[in-house]
Structure 1
Amino acid sequence: MHKSISLFLFLICHVIGSYVLAQRNLFEFGERRRLFPSADEKKAPLRWMQVNTSDTTWAVKNEVLTCIGLPIGVVRSEKMYQNFIMRVEWRHLEAGGNSGIFVWCDAQPEAHNRLPSGVEVQMLELDWVNQHRVNGEKPPIAYVHGELFGAGQSTAVPDNPRGVRSRAIENRCLGKGEWNTYVVVCVDGTIKLSVNGKFVNGIRESSQRKGYLCLESEGAKIEFRNLEILELDEGYILPEQVVDRL
């Protein structure tokens, strides 16, 4: 009996310890602030928690975050966000590279692809369409210029439909080695995306409207810089539109 209890306690501690290890703080990158901060309120660093990548997947140097792309998975923000504006610069370092940022995300990867549910703000290198032909046909070029879509269990209505996804109405992304700037406005289930200085895409009626931010590692080396989150006032939200707190 004593041995059974000891074994049970050991297994419980192992499971809890593994979860804590997986959700530990991994690095700081970017800043967040309120739209109208109080007199004593300052910018705060964004802290990122390990989900299912590795310690060597990410590295911050000279205020640039580098992701090597392996293993496939995500890191998540320490806190959840509802209404906010996100500004970020990114560039791929490999032709055909794939990555993105999830917003309103549950940060709980699915077994089949290691990626969570949320609205994905797609970040693809321009050569992706040449490398992923189907029966000799290239995907639409708009695919690599900032698509928005509900990933996993998350759903949304596209402004510019390509199936359930929303495509950019103008091709504005730059290729390998060049910095792109995204401004992402997220308010009450609606998202608008500006690519390099012009709003060209959007979705609405997202099923998830408060959740984590997740940075995606998806097989290719990518760099991020100048990530800023401007927190806006909260709006009316239903309990089922908020992801589970981790």
Structure 2
Amino acid sequence: MALRTALALTAAASFCCSAFADDGPAGPVSLFDGKTLDGWHADVPAADGKPETKPSFVVRDGMLVSLGSPNGHLITDKTHENYRLEVEYRFPGKPGNCGVLVHASTPRALYQMFPQSIEVQMNHQHAGDFWCIEEDIAVPDMVERRGPKENWGINGSKARRILNLTDGSEKPLGEWNRMTIECVGDEVKVWVNGDLVNHGHDCTAASGQIAVQAEGSEVEFKKLRLTPIKSLSEEAPGQPAAAE
């Protein structure tokens, strides 16, 4: 009887250990190792069948750099759900356009370029806008921030842009900005330099890959850190933890 009990306890312990191991990392993990683009893959339509095409994404001086062209996306190999993503970025030269895409799935779903996703805009002086790319999300004051309801949509010429709450949160050009994106369930929250600039709900996706864009301007990233959020109860509403 004692032997049977011991075996049962051992089996239970093994099951628990396996279950926790399958849950993935419990703490923050860097999506960029500072040296390589391991864990990511590029989708650049202009490079199809043209191995001589210059890369759109490189590692330089310990930073991940989007060179801006040819246009495309750098996409995580893994999918993620329920997390906080901390991004530190800057436009080292002229200001321009870029974005972080969350809940990305089908590649080239829009205009044979953009993966199905919700884009968190980084366009200079518009950081934190949402763009709906074959996925949708809602915010308070939708008509004021998205336009007339009859124009809303998730593709083509539809009203896919949802304005943020403030365009005054970015640092001056050339300085580092800190963007924090929390994706929990069907909600997406965005902070820029500590200011809550967007909070969406009823998102039509709750998991997916993460992507950064090459969309015309050079952007440097020195941090892409993901912290899993295991349950809603683990996170109190309000400010995210301060960046290091």
1:232 maps to what in 2?
229
Find out whether 1:167 has 2:163 as its counterpart.
Answer: yes
Q: Which residue of 1 is the match for residue 135 of structure 2?
A: 154
Does the CA contact (< 8 Å) of 1:98 and 1:125 recur in 2? yes
Tell me the alpha carbon deviations over residues 41-85 of structure 1, each in whole angstroms, 9 at most, x when there is no partner. Answer: x94655111222666211113321111111111011010011100
Retained in 2: the 8 A contact 1:158–1:165?
no
Secondary structure of the residue aligned to 2:122 is strand
Does 1:191 find its partner at 2:188? yes
SS in 1 for 2:79: coil
Summarize the Cα distance change of 1:45–1:122 in structure 2 as closer, same or farther, 3 Å threshold.
Answer: closer
Contact 1:160–1:168 (CA under 8 A) maintained in structure 2? no
Q: TM-score, normalised by structure 1?
A: 0.66
Is 2:93 the counterpart of 1:85?
A: no
Q: Which has the higher mean CA deviation after the structures are superposed, 75-84 or 155-164?
A: 155-164
On the 8 A contact 1:148/1:202 being kept in 2, the answer is: no
Q: Distance in 1 between matches of 2:107 and 2:68?
A: 18
Residue of structure 1 in register with 2:203 after alignment = 206
- In percent, how many aligned pairs have the same letter? 23
Deviation track 1:177-197 (CA, whole Å, cap 9, x = no partner) reads: 111100111000101111101
Contact 1:59-1:66 within 8 A present in 2 as well: yes
In the TM superposition, residue 227 of structure 1 has moved relative to its aligned partner by 1.1
CA RMSD of aligned residues (A): 2.3
- Contact 2:57 2:74 (8 Å CA) reproduced: no
Q: Greater share of strand residues, 1 or 2? A: 1
Are the counterparts in 2 of residues 74 and 215 from structure 1 also a CA contact under 8 Å?
A: yes
Q: Within 5 A, what are the aligned runs for 1:16-165? A: 34=25, 36=26, 43=29, 45-46=31-32, 47-52=39-44, 56-110=55-109, 112=111, 114-126=113-125, 144-151=126-133, 153-161=134-142, 162-163=145-146, 165=161
TM-score scaled to structure 2, two decimals?
0.66
Structure 1 unmatched ranges of 5 or more: 1-32, 127-143, 236-246
Encode CA deviations 1:144-163: one digit per residue, 9 max, x unaligned: 13212322x11111235321
Gaps of at least 5 residues in structure 2 are: 1-23, 33-38, 48-53, 147-159, 233-244
Q: Does 1:179 align with 2:187?
A: no
- Cα distance change, pair 113–91 in 1 and its aligned pair in 2 (3 A): farther
CA 1:192–1:200 in structure 2 vs 1: closer, same or farther (change >3 Å)?
A: same
Task: Tell me by how many angstroms 1:176 deviates.
Answer: 2.3
Task: Confirm or deny: 8 A CA contact 1:159 1:166 kept in the other structure.
Answer: no
Figure out how many residues of one structure are paired with residues of the other and give that number. Answer: 180
